């Protein structure tokens, strides 16, 4: 199967998730700076979530770039990832309103954890389809950063129940780590159509 439809559908879902997040932002109730400052937790939640969705979009693009074909397993793995990404706007709005409460912060982490697990499953499905000696397998490496992220999300979730701020700090640190570009993908020659 051609990968173009999978990429187009994924781009559409990701664009809709970002649109839903921005539509969830409230306008200040007044025209003063103090009114805007009341919305800082909401704005910071949006920035963090936008960063996460952007990171997944970039990495999804890099992951699919060397792929020559897709199959049913890949389609389902991709849909699994998109399901979890589509929940980011929901937990973003919840944590924006209740950033000091353990359940919303832990739920935010649970969605991020499942996004990371789903990305790992998609990566494995793509490598299985392309082959362990493929350019994708060589470029993608062993996925250690992805596995380490899963462990840290797994630690941040129960930590959020005890201290929501501590869990949030881990989510921010992980976003910062993923924001650093992976030079293996950046320097890999692109596949010509």
pLDDT tens digits, 1-42: 789 999 999 999 999 999 999 998 888 888 889 888 999 999
Q: What phi-psi label fits residue 171: left (phi over 0), alpha (psi between -120 and 50 degrees) or beta?
A: alpha
What residues contact 118, with CB distance under 8 A and at least 6 apart? 77, 80, 81, 83, 84
3-class state of residue 54 by DSSP? helix
Q: What is the pLDDT of residue 35?
A: 87
Backbone phi and psi for residue 98, each to the nearest 5 degrees, phi listed first: -135, 50
Distances 8 to 12, 172, 190 between C-alpha atoms, Å:
6, 29, 18
Give the other-Cβ count within 10 Å of 14's Cβ.
Answer: 20
Q: How far apart are CA 13 and CA 9, in angstroms?
A: 6
pLDDT at 72 > cutoff 50: yes
pLDDT band of 185, cuts 50, 70, 90: low
What does the angle CA 136 – CA 143 – CA 114 come to, to the nearest 5 degrees? Answer: 110
pLDDT band of 187, cuts 50, 70, 90: low
Radius of gyration of the chain (CA): 18
Q: How far apart are CA 7 and CA 115, in angstroms?
A: 17
Q: How far apart are CA 46 and CA 19, in angstroms?
A: 11
Q: How far apart are CA 94 and CA 102, in angstroms?
A: 11
pLDDT at 96 > cutoff 80: yes
Q: How far apart are CA 171 and CA 158, in angstroms?
A: 13
């Amino acid at each position: 199967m051609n990968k173009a439809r999978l990429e187009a559908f994924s781009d559409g879902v990701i664009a809709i998730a970002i649109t839903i997040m921005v539509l969830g932002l409230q306008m200040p109730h007044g025209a003063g700076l103090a009114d805007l400052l009341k919305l800082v937790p909401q704005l910071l939640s949006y920035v963090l979530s936008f960063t996460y969705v952007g990171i997944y979009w970039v990495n999804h693009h890099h992951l699919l770039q060397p792929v020559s074909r897709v199959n049913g397993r890949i389609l389902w793995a991709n849909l699994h990832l998109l399901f979890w990404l589509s929940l980011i706007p929901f937990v973003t709005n919840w944590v924006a309103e209740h950033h000091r409460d353990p359940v919303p912060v832990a739920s935010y982490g649970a969605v991020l954890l499942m996004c990371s697990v789903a990305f790992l499953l998609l990566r494995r499905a793509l490598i299985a389809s392309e082959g362990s000696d493929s350019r994708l397998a060589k470029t993608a490496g062993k996925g250690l950063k992805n596995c380490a992220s899963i462990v840290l999300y797994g630690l941040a979730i129960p930590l959020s129940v005890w201290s929501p701020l501590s869990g949030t700090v881990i989510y921010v640190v992980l976003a910062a780590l993923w924001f650093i570009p992976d030079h293996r993908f950046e320097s890999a020659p692109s596949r010509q159509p």
